Structure 1
Amino acid sequence: MENYLSLSETAEIIGKSKETLRRWDNEGILNAVREPVSNYRVYRKDDIENLMGKLFDENFEDNISNYVEPLDQFTVLELFAGAGGLAIGMEKSGLKCVALNEIDKWACKTLRTNRPNWNVLEGDIKSFDFREYKNKADIVTGGFPCQAFSYAGKKLGLEDARGTLFYEFARVVKEVQPSICIGENVRGLLSHDKGKTLKGMISILDEIGYKVVPVEVLKAINYRVPQKRERLILVGVRKDIDIAYEYPKKHNKVYNLKDALKKGDLFDKDVPNSDGAKYPEYKKKVLDLVPPKGYWRDLPLDLQKEYMGGSFYLGGGKTGMARRIGWDEPSLTLTCSPAQKQTERCHPDETRPFTVREYARIQTFPDDWKFVGSTAQQYKQIGNAVPVNLGEEIGYSVIKFLNKYYQAKNN
């Protein structure tokens, strides 16, 4: 089977759903074949690599732009701000940050080090009253964690969500009354508790006076980010505003790892040197045998069994294990720890994890954005962040919405 990949493995590597691959098979874009021994429907590695080249290596010009000038100084209050990925992106788009709340002390130090003028509210969101920002923030944003609710009845109200961080997000929105609020989360929120969690969030925003735009999952590779990260975006528009919010248009150029780490369209110089984690010797010996764009299935069979242990017999893709990224593909989603067994992201040429500055580049942070704390703390801050360029594109979509509202209000 070493020259073939299963449907789920192919879907994971290419970053498309199984349904898309089945459609592509019918349309002749990427054909499945019968594996000679098992007779399962599988994909030839060569066919996938040829298609990956077409998907990620096109040298065409990107003729999509979401850029828009703000008609006024629009302001944003950010909750769960982390190390500032979304905040820098919003700033780049032309929005002004009036305050940021974050509980992690190292992330707060990072924010203050880079933006001494930002109002960083350090501490548990529960201990802050945000009513002073009413009429001072056009937008409230926040990447709240995904937590289940206890249902008191068929319809979920704000009080039913007490004790969750989404409750705090909704409480702040209710206190501040922004024109628009934006929550961001992992794709898994769609199916969390069989979809009830998301349904509950929409119900709560409705109760506090916000109409939720149909939820979308934005793929970072469509927004000038060289990484296959996905973020679910939850947008609520205050009910007295009759203006439609539109998600940012997808770009038609996809950037790869070379664009992230070398001088080119995304950055005007090669990635600067920095500290980085190292693999233990046993792992280095294993990953030395994995080619660029390869993973554990590229190891000799006896090593596959030894490295994967019981997982070897469980089936499924597990394509993040013993994974070496190729120069001509976007990185897989970065995690908070670069050397974990489930989520290895090995450098294409050297057998090591990405360094801190390489991590930051893949998340499109500017090179002059300094991260404070131990190397492990820095990886965690970067791995948790919203990619800066995705934040910028979302910022433009919000400015476009607020411009229309501003014009309608003044006419």
Structure 2
Amino acid sequence: MRVVSEIRPWYIIMENVPGIITMKKGAVKAEICQAFIDIGYSNVSVAILESAAYGIPQIRPRTIFIANKFGMINPYPKPQLLPHQYKAIESAISDLPELTPIPEINHQWTRHSQEYMKRLAKVPPGCSLYKTYADAFKRQYLGKPSMTIKENHGGTHIHPYLNRVISAREMARLQSFPDSFIFEGSMKKAMWQIGNAVPPRLAECIGYALIPFLNKIAKVRKKEEGRRKEST
């Protein structure tokens, strides 16, 4: 909020997990909205967007706050795909080498012992290797979008048919990052960056929804500036 109050952008976009809406019986959401209002952004909207509906091969619902200080509507992008049209995990990762790492593009994964791989082989789709991990070490489904990905102690979800966890690059593709986007640092740090990122494709869709309104504001401000110059 401090940065926003100093920069004063026309629109604010903030992303978080869906649970923030109901956290403390809605009090957290209310506090965030009030914080925007207190610094002059009187029009605040909140919506949950499903990333898979925008062409991202991953089920990843996200809470998106949008606020502006002009009293204009806060536009959200219309879904591009219906649930039965969501992209399957293999559409994003099937062309990557299955067993040969490519460090140059972050195509690396946690190396497993033979014993560990035998344990992975027994995990069916949708089930987890560990009962205590709800967001990692689950076998992905073929023919469906990826489950929500997240780095968890060096582990992510299990590949749909290989006995290994998915690689950092496979994670990146499931987040809609292009292969040209290289993540710096160790493999674990790369996975952490990817797992905590907003899918670029989703951010792009939100940005495009805002463009007409930003253009409208720019035109109004230009006219106002012209009138001020004429009056002086």
The normalised TM-score by structure 2 is 0.82
Judge conservation of contact 2:183–2:190 (CA < 8 Å) in 1.
yes
Q: 1:402 deviation in Å?
A: 0.5
Q: 1:200 corresponds to which residue?
A: 31
Distance 1:338 1:354 in 2: 14
Distance 1:402 1:365 in 2: 26
Cα distance, 1:281–1:251 mapped onto 2, change above 3 Å: same
Cα distance, 1:242–1:192 mapped onto 2, change above 3 Å: closer
Determine helix, strand or coil for the equivalent of 2:48. strand
Judge conservation of contact 1:185–1:232 (CA < 8 Å) in 2.
yes
Q: 2:52 corresponds to which residue?
A: 221
Q: 1:386 corresponds to which residue?
A: 198
Gaps of 5+ in 1: 1-169, 263-269, 297-303, 312-317
Q: 2:187 corresponds to which residue?
A: 375
Judge conservation of contact 1:277–1:338 (CA < 8 Å) in 2.
no
Cα distance, 1:320–1:234 mapped onto 2, change above 3 Å: closer
Q: 1:236 deviation in Å?
A: 1.0
Q: 2:169 corresponds to which residue?
A: 357
Count of residues paired in the alignment: 212
Q: Is 1:336 matched up with 2:169?
A: no
The normalised TM-score by structure 1 is 0.48
1:34-49 alignment, distance < 5 Å:
none
For the pair shown, the structure with the greater C-alpha radius of gyration is 1
Cα distance, 1:371–1:319 mapped onto 2, change above 3 Å: closer
Judge conservation of contact 1:295–1:320 (CA < 8 Å) in 2.
no
Q: 1:232 deviation in Å?
A: 0.9
Distance 1:321 1:370 in 2: 23
Gaps of 5+ in 2: 224-232
Q: 1:280 deviation in Å?
A: 4.8
In structure 1, give the amino acid aligned to 2:12: C
In structure 2, give the amino acid aligned to 1:209: G
CA-to-aligned-CA distance 1:236-256 (integer Å, 9 cap, x gap): 101xx2421210010124111
Q: 2:15 corresponds to which residue?
A: 184
In structure 1, give the amino acid aligned to 2:11: I
Determine helix, strand or coil for the equivalent of 2:68. strand
Q: 1:289 corresponds to which residue?
A: 122
Distance 2:178 2:64 in 1: 23
1:263-302 alignment, distance < 5 Å:
270-271=95-96, 273=102, 274-291=107-124, 293-296=125-128
Judge conservation of contact 2:45–2:67 (CA < 8 Å) in 1.
no
Judge conservation of contact 1:295–1:319 (CA < 8 Å) in 2.
no
Say what the alpha-carbon RMSD is for the aligned residues: 2.3
Distance 1:319 1:376 in 2: 19
